[in-house]
A and B are shown apart, each in its own frame.
Chain A
Amino acid sequence: MRAVPLAILVFTFALTTVCQAATVRVAVASNFSGPMKKIAREFEAISSHKVVLTFGSSGKFYAQIRSGAPFDVFYSADEQKPTRLVSEHLAEAKSQFCYAVGVLALWSANRPQVVLNERTLSQASFSKLAIANPRLAPYGAAAVEVIKTLGLWDALQKSLVQGENITQTFQFVQSGNADLGFVALSQLQLQPETSANTYWIVPDSLHTPIRQDAILLNRGQDNAAAMALLEFTKSAKARTIIENFGYRIPDSD
């Protein structure tokens, strides 16, 4: 019976020498910073690896990665940029997967908060509607789709103001400079004071899904920590974290 603990000891020793503690450098789209911090903490707790997170806009990361930025893994805010990195031979095609689906919400920070629903947009009782820049931000593109699907594009043209990204769009609404805005449900989830009936979760049927892809970059190919982190992101534990932050989990593939 003594052999069992000994075997475990030898096995553990062998394991730690094989996959030595490594550091993984991760570029993360700002909108995913909350869940990513938590995922990284959990990951570090169960493995011997170390995670270094950098948050920023996906477009900037794309440019930096092309210029040789030292990232092993990239959590993009969309699927296009990882795909493009693959076609430029800067990332591993096989490793690309959707880690989260963004949920769009229409929100007003007015106090007392108004109850929002699908009729709010056609009632024209507001002067400024904030959306993220549709050219840059998937949430912005989705917002434009929603407005067009509802047949309100021409009517709302004059009311639109664009934040450069979803964070700024959120600030426009939160400060009250814009009466309404299409923001990410994940942002509202972080607000302690927003109760569920002050925003309207836009149904998926009104826009194409906001799929966010992660990918292993060339630099991370031989990094055990990089691959382990990507695997961990697919685990049930990580999925629960992601959902708790206001994202949906892609249908299992």
Chain B
Amino acid sequence: MELFSTEDLQAILLTLKLATVVTCVLIIIGTPLAWWLVNTQSRWKSFVSALVALPLVLPPSVIGFYLLLAMAPDGPIGHFTTQLGLGTLAFTFPGLVLASVVYSLPFVVQPIHNAIDALGKRPLEVAATLRAGPWDTFFNVVLPLAAPGFITAAVLGFAHTVGEFGVVLMIGGNIPGVTRVVSVQIYDHVEALDYGRAHILSLTMIIFSLLVLAALYSIGKPSAHKLSRS
């Protein structure tokens, strides 16, 4: 028996692709969201914060269940995507991306939020007195100073998406190469009593997660140091 079957490999590649796309999307939408949350005086602030944190406390099956209903042809998301000519999103890769973005949102927004918050107003004021524009300030002051927060966000978002199970199970449809990710493949092996294959994939996941977290903690330390100095 080779280490991974073709289907296992397909699931691993798909998972890595999904996690990469989701991480990129999350950094792009998570950054302005976190920025807004740090700086806003809006009375909606606590509500939006709660909304962002919601996937932390909700069971994935709840998120998956409502996404499945929302993606249906007569659901709000399904209605919208059908009008755009995209068809419905359930059982497709873009559908998984959307679901994972929702699911992993707090894991990306919160580290970025904390990093930007920890900078305080001072660096921005200094940049403003030196006549730096907002974009200039963001890319040359905020981003380098908050870099560890962004790295943490990316790693957590990536790792969390890799480990995602309940949501994919609800809206994925288990299509090889399209929506069958590693966690679902493991579930399949276990349910089919193929414990050997389940072990190989599960141990791979454990080792992967351990390495990711170890890497995360090794970058976490110097960042705390840097932040306390600034």
Q: Measuring CB to CB, which residues of chain A are less than 8 angstroms from any residue of chain B? A: 57, 59-60, 62-63, 81, 84, 127-128, 130, 133, 135-136, 160-164, 168, 171-172, 175-178
Contacts and interface: CB of A to CB of B under 8 A. Distances in A.
Contacts of A162: 173-175
A172 B90 contact: yes
B175 A161 contact: yes
Contacts of A135: 188, 191-192
Interface stretch (B65-73, B129-137, B155-163): B65-73
A175 B68 CA distance: 7
Nearest to B89: A177
B88 interface: yes
Interface string B183-203: 010011011110000000000
A176 B73 CA distance: 6
Nearest to A130: B173
Interface string B136-160: 0000000000000000000000000
Contacts of A161: 90-91, 173-175
Contacts of A81: 193
B26 interface: no
B74 interface: yes
Contact of A168 (B69, B170, B188): B170
A17 B153 CA distance: 65
Contacts of B87: 127
Interface residues of B, number: 26
9 contacts: A57-B191, A128-B91, A133-B174, A162-B174, A164-B169, A164-B187, A171-B170, A177-B71, A177-B91
Looking at chain A's contact residues, the main secondary structure is mixed
A175 B187 contact: no
A202 B91 CA distance: 25
Closest 10 CB pairs of A and B: A161-B173, A59-B191, A177-B90, A162-B174, A176-B72, A175-B72, A136-B191, A161-B91, A135-B192, A177-B72
Contacts of A84: 193
A127 B88 CA distance: 11
Contacts of B74: 176
Given A57-B191, A59-B190, A164 B174 contact: yes
A172 B90 CA distance: 9
Interface of B: 65, 68-69, 71-75, 78, 87-88, 90-91, 169-171, 173-175, 184, 187-188, 190-193
B201 to A, nearest CB: 15
Nearest to B73: A176
A98 B218 CA distance: 57
Nearest to B180: A162
A57 B192 CA distance: 11
Contacts of B190: 59-60, 63
Contacts of A128: 91, 173
Contacts of B175: 160-162
Contacts of A60: 190-191
Contacts of B192: 59, 135-136
A52 to B, nearest CB: 24
Given A164-B187, A175-B75, 9 more contacts: A81-B193, A128-B91, A160-B175, A161-B90, A164-B169, A172-B90, A175-B69, A175-B71, A176-B75
A161 B169 CA distance: 12
Nearest to B184: A164
A172 B193 contact: no
A185 B55 CA distance: 35
